[in-house]
Structure 1
Amino acid sequence: MKTINIKTIILSIATLVLFFFSSCDDVLDRPPLSEENDNTFWASESQLRLYANGFYPRYFVGYNSGWGTEYAPHIGYTFSDDIVYNGTQTNFELSVPNDRGNNTSTLTNIPWLELYSGPNWNFAWLRRANIMIDRIEKRMSNILTADQKSHWMGIARFFRGIDYAGLVQVFGDVPYYDHEVNNADPNDLYKPRTPRDEVMDAVYDDLVFAMQNVKLDDGSLNVNRYVVAGFVSRLALFEGTWQKYHKNNNDRAKKFLNLAVTAADLIKNSGKYDIVTDFRTLFNSDNLAGNKDVIFYRHYDPAQSVTHCVSSYCNLSENRYPNPNLALIKAFICNDGSDWQTSSDVANKNFEMSNLIATRDSRFEATFFPKVTTRSLSSCIYTVKFISRIGVSYEGNGLPAEFTSTNNKNDYPIIRYAEVLLNWIEAKAELATLGEAAVTQADIDASINKIRDRKIAPEAEALGVKKTAAMSLTNLPSSPDRGNVPQLIWEIRRERRMEMAFEHSRLLDLKRWKKLEYMDYTSNPDIMRGTWINANSAALNSLLKPGILAVTDMTGKITIYNGNNAAQMVGFYTPTNLQNRQPFLNVTGINPYLAPVGKNERIDYQKRGFDLAQTEGWPSDL
């Protein structure tokens, strides 16, 4: 398990400043290298390591730092079918922006673009990776040993592969560069978009090379082969399922799904990782060093002035408006292994919070505050996944400083063994639908059942939380909500949703499965409802406002509070001020699965006699 050396990264960033000035006018953001520094810098492996560490803040954000929340869990990933807003739901991007370059202010109202670290039409970090590759090859052959050269070339190609995979996830076709761009060559500068498949074939080669050449162990503070493999399992699963569901290209789907399996197998077969930690502790430990559940993490240290604010958004001291919704609550499986809709146990159909804590998978209690609360005005259920149990025990009153402001010091597991197991089993299940080997019970036991068997915290046991029964291939739940999704794949997706709620994956999962309709209220009304409440209770009677409070019963009937029917205000919380987002599916000129490039980017190409095609599904006129 690896961490991130913050001091080294700060030094690395300072070093990178010597190479890249702060502004640039051209489309690829390519300020020239300082000739003196470039000629003298590539003199030792330690200098190369310093350069490589400069990539860490981009790809391994963790909880971010200070007041920064971009790409951080809970805060940065609150645009999916798991979240309801108090008011109008956040819209998808509905028109082509003027600019998609370096001006990030153009993206502040487009949370769906929070898909990877750097959604802009910006190739600066790719250029930096290509410079690293070029300098290793041309200037360091007599400085590095063969093993060192292979390792660092693997690191550089790993970074390039991550960045290109992210750009493709957002934009589809993008210009591909496998070399340092020639600033004086307009044909290079204004290269047209390269087809997605060609880009991803190059990414595939980069990732395979990295898995074969990056060291198994490069010290506790650095990326190693297992870290690489964890990310490869994630990125390859995305592309494999995208090819299956969007392109109907089974051959390419199998290519990437098999890569996901291979990457995950490298980690599984190492014997270095396991599921040994209770779920909540993974996210509120002050030091994840040595934790076998974690492949890579970001460490926070107040002594180095490196802290964050994400736990402060879970401390119950102030109102939170993006809240978990009923759709997510209903997705949690019962701890007897059944689906609540088809369960024969009447207790599993009781949605009072105390009963949910006792009857649902243990991750429910680890993720949510065990009481309904008006601190979450959108749904009455509050997320506490990213704060310690000690912090929650204060219920927002008299909080110690470490749970407030930017004083949070808990570590973040950037990639976990549980995710790798879920990537592995999903890839195998998808491959089985494409004619490859069927998933076996042994596969399920080695992945989903291993995760379900994680230990339960004593505080959770005191509330009645139990381990969830093992999944059996011969007795899978048959959820009526799954539509055309096979039972096994549906249950694997459910497991992923429970395990990774409010982390990086849910919106990306909906995109790759081609299931953004789950975010439309007309087909999924539970996304704009909250948990089960009794507004007559002392804790909630402040909600009793005529014309505003409403509840929905188990049949879907909505009752609005009129000032005289308080006794009827028992049901799923459904405030009347919640409004659906604007239509985004099957709308001409809108492709919610991919982002458009900006008008200015296309004009910049045209002024120089070149053409930058608009993203598939978006208007091509300027």
Structure 2
Amino acid sequence: MKKTFYTLCIAAVFVSCNLDEFPLDKLAPENYFNNEAELETFTNTFYQQNFPEASSIYSESADVIIVTTLQPEVSGTRTVVNEGGGWDTGSWQPLTYINNYLHYSHRCSDTKARERYDGVARFFRAYFYFEKVKRFGDVPWYDRPLKSDDPDLYKARDSRELVMSKILEDIDYAIDKLPQEQNVYSVTQWTALALKSRICLFEGTFRKYHGIAGYEEYLDECIEAAEQFIDESPYQIYKGSQTPYRDLFSSNNAISTEVILARDYEIGLNIIHNANNYTLSNTYGMPGLNKKIVDSYLKTDGSRFTDVPGYATMEFYQEMQDRDPRLTQTVRGPGYTRIGQTDRLSPDFSCSTTGYQLTKWVTDPSQDGYNKSYNDIILFRAAEVYLNFAEAKAERGTLTQTDIDKSIKPIRDRVGMPNLDMEEANDNPDPYLTSDVTGYPHVSGENKGVILEIRRERTIELIAEGHRYYDMVRWKEGKMFEQEFKGMYFTPGMNSDGYRIYDLDGSGDVSALDVCLYTTSSAPKAADHPELAVIKTFLKIGSAFELTGAAGGNIIVHNTETEPREWREDRDYLYPLPLSQIQFAPDKIKQNPNW
């Protein structure tokens, strides 16, 4: 049986609501932390406390995956709350556990064991503070336990500069002290290098695009960490099946070839999640891939799909042909079958806002139904580190074709895609990716073209893995959330009876896999129209979904005229602090700008 993060352990008794007291009927820290086993037991709680749940990863929705309800961050409806908001006592409690551990771990006389698990603790403190800085910017730095009457409980926020320097100290310690042996369920030196590359890429690009000094240092730190990982780690891009990209995420047990760290799920222990049901039911947001992302996938020969005349008005079957294989290993394409089955299935429009129905993270039908999925959820994998390396070097201005060959090429090789040519990309930046509607208009400079291509690669490779929102934040591209979200295209033109059949499977004949759109008050009947006898899916325009035209066009999700969105450049890249926290110490704790 796999090791699980979620075993109840003794560590939980050492933190109570009153920070300077311990429950008298429980073990006290002065009697614990004596040996390696006790250090390991305590630090095991950090995994559950700090890492996101599965649903936070597979249900990621910003401008890539569109669901029925807009996130407040996307709609522009965030408000300043009185309590919570990521700054409440509960959200800081994981740090209390970490600092308590580091305060008492000296009780263990086994120096090697103590340094290893101190490395685990400092890995998680770096992770904890990284998440806080991403959300709030300046935050108070605490590296010791606090008593309930400690004046520092409501001290002023420390500068981003100070907190980030402390984060680097912690992660560097973790890199130095954690073991090198692969362990897909415990942090290692390789996990720490992966986290450092993630942290430093974020901070470096955030500073670069938001006009904050010091971005070069962080990009250099990212490059160094990522390159050490690429050159020295035992990890590589998984290619061990005919559909390797799909299988990496549908595997019940994390594939250790590529996966550095995963969150463990076990049906036998009732440790489960809801990924299958999320994509196969109509009650969890009906996630669908945004049309602009579908269009961004390259053709199999490496050329740009958006350079093809008429690409924007291609119907489903046509647009899915000769594309990067990751497209049809991420959404249902023509000829799609469930894992372990042979029946061909079309996109289910009752479960997908855009018609591009997600299959990433979806397993075999035995895991269908509410909370019946138990495939491991990936937290860190080699492909992300490779992408971090390439992007940091491109933004730093030091990228070479050799760097691309060791980072982007292995990722594309997985699915048989041609390598990225740096010179060609920079000579001819993709207009689709420079557009202020579908791209990233803030990219400039000599490496503009290759930076755009690396962003394309990152978006496609890391869909539904929890990265997109903060990628847009660090790139300063929040205005993109205001753009119209679109889905599948249907050629206009109903017949005289007010309906039209669309050939989703490309058979050339009417089949059960096709869909009938109609504009009449009720669905046309097979008794009146025999060709409809095999059709299973009937969708009324204006009821099932809205199209850009009265009788055809693209599916529109969250029409910007009826659901207006606003992203404020002077405010929305950071979250507000809750009012209650400011009221505790109004002379010290200040609100983020313009909230």
Contact 1:426 1:492 in 2 (8 A): yes
Return closer, same or farther for 1:263/1:34 CA change in 2, 3 Å cut-off: farther
The answer to whether residue 6 in structure 2 is matched with residue 5 in structure 1 is: no
- Map of 2:566 onto structure 1: 583
User: The residue matched to 1:362 in structure 2 has which SS?
Assistant: coil
1:218 & 1:358 partners in 2: Cα distance? 39
Contact 2:184 2:254 in 1 (8 A): no
What do residues 435-488 of structure 1 show as CA deviations (whole Å, max 9, x unaligned)?
xxx311111111111101104xxxxxxxxxxx3222111222522241342111
- Map of 2:479 onto structure 1: 517
**Uncovered stretches (5+) of structure 1, i.e. residues with no partner:** 25-29, 64-68, 101-106, 108-112, 392-398, 433-437, 456-466, 553-558, 562-568
The answer to whether residue 448 in structure 2 is matched with residue 468 in structure 1 is: no
Amino acid at match of 1:92: G
Q: Once the two structures are aligned, what percentage of the paired residues are identical?
A: 25
Contact 2:280 2:351 in 1 (8 A): no
Amino acid at match of 2:539: L
Amino acid at match of 1:446: K
Deviation at 1:17, TM superposition (A): 2.7
**Uncovered stretches (5+) of structure 2, i.e. residues with no partner:** 334-345, 435-440, 492-498, 502-513, 518-537
The answer to whether residue 97 in structure 2 is matched with residue 97 in structure 1 is: no
Contact 1:314 1:386 in 2 (8 A): no
- Map of 1:308 onto structure 2: 273
Contact 1:264 1:420 in 2 (8 A): yes
- Map of 2:299 onto structure 1: 334
For residues 85-164 of structure 1, the aligned pairs below 5 Å read 85-86=67-68, 90=72, 91-100=75-84, 122-137=91-106, 139-140=107-108, 143-145=109-111, 147-164=112-129
User: The residue matched to 2:490 in structure 1 has which SS?
Assistant: strand
Amino acid at match of 1:614: Q
For residues 211-610 of structure 1, the aligned pairs below 5 Å read 211-217=175-181, 221-249=185-213, 252-277=214-239, 278-289=244-255, 291-315=256-280, 320-343=285-308, 346=309, 351-370=314-333, 371-376=346-351, 378-388=353-363, 391=364, 399-400=365-366, 402-432=367-397, 438-455=398-415, 467-476=416-425, 478-481=429-432, 482=434, 483-485=441-443, 486-521=448-483, 525=484, 528-534=485-491, 536-537=500-501, 539-541=515-517, 542-545=538-541, 550-552=546-548, 559-561=549-551, 569=552, 571-574=553-556, 579-586=562-569, 591-606=571-586, 610=587
Number of residue-to-residue matches in the alignment: 522
The answer to whether residue 36 in structure 2 is matched with residue 45 in structure 1 is: yes
Deviation at 1:515, TM superposition (A): 0.6
What do residues 294-339 of structure 1 show as CA deviations (whole Å, max 9, x unaligned)?
1111232222222221122223687853422212212222222222
2:53 & 2:380 partners in 1: Cα distance? 10
Amino acid at match of 2:408: I
What do residues 397-437 of structure 1 show as CA deviations (whole Å, max 9, x unaligned)?
xx54x2222221222222111111001111111111xxxxx
Contact 2:479 2:567 in 1 (8 A): no
Deviation at 1:11, TM superposition (A): 2.7
1:149 & 1:505 partners in 2: Cα distance? 33
- Map of 2:336 onto structure 1: none
The answer to whether residue 136 in structure 2 is matched with residue 171 in structure 1 is: yes
Moved more, 318-327 or 229-238: 318-327
Return closer, same or farther for 1:44/1:441 CA change in 2, 3 Å cut-off: same
What do residues 548-593 of structure 1 show as CA deviations (whole Å, max 9, x unaligned)?
86544xxxxxx224xxxxxxx2x3223686644432325xxx7111
What do residues 202-222 of structure 1 show as CA deviations (whole Å, max 9, x unaligned)?
111111111112121286642
Amino acid at match of 1:595: Y
User: The residue matched to 2:470 in structure 1 has which SS?
Assistant: helix
Which of 570, 580, 591 lines up with 1:614 in the alignment?
Answer: 591
The answer to whether residue 26 in structure 2 is matched with residue 17 in structure 1 is: no
1:258 & 1:309 partners in 2: Cα distance? 39
Amino acid at match of 1:454: R
Return closer, same or farther for 1:192/1:451 CA change in 2, 3 Å cut-off: same
What do residues 368-422 of structure 1 show as CA deviations (whole Å, max 9, x unaligned)?
011444224521221111113xx3xxxxxxx54x222222122222211111100
- Map of 1:564 onto structure 2: none
Amino acid at match of 2:407: S
Contact 2:136 2:576 in 1 (8 A): yes
User: The residue matched to 1:543 in structure 2 has which SS?
Assistant: strand
Deviation at 1:599, TM superposition (A): 1.1
Q: Cα RMSD between the aligned structures?
A: 2.7
When the two structures are superposed, what TM-score results if normalisation uses the length of structure 1? 0.78
Return closer, same or farther for 1:304/1:88 CA change in 2, 3 Å cut-off: closer
Return closer, same or farther for 1:60/1:177 CA change in 2, 3 Å cut-off: closer
The answer to whether residue 16 in structure 2 is matched with residue 33 in structure 1 is: no
Amino acid at match of 1:33: F
- Map of 1:103 onto structure 2: none
Contact 1:87 1:577 in 2 (8 A): no
1:547 & 1:152 partners in 2: Cα distance? 57
2:488 & 2:383 partners in 1: Cα distance? 27
Deviation at 1:507, TM superposition (A): 0.3
Return closer, same or farther for 1:4/1:439 CA change in 2, 3 Å cut-off: farther
2:149 & 2:89 partners in 1: Cα distance? 23
1:233 & 1:549 partners in 2: Cα distance? 42
Contact 2:182 2:260 in 1 (8 A): no
2:467 & 2:187 partners in 1: Cα distance? 21
2:296 & 2:7 partners in 1: Cα distance? 42
2:371 & 2:541 partners in 1: Cα distance? 35
Contact 2:95 2:128 in 1 (8 A): yes
1:414 & 1:209 partners in 2: Cα distance? 21
Deviation at 1:271, TM superposition (A): 4.6
Deviation at 1:192, TM superposition (A): 0.8
Contact 1:549 1:576 in 2 (8 A): no
2:69 & 2:285 partners in 1: Cα distance? 13
User: The residue matched to 2:374 in structure 1 has which SS?
Assistant: coil
Deviation at 1:10, TM superposition (A): 1.8
The answer to whether residue 68 in structure 2 is matched with residue 83 in structure 1 is: no
Which of 43, 56, 62 lines up with 2:47 in the alignment?
Answer: 56
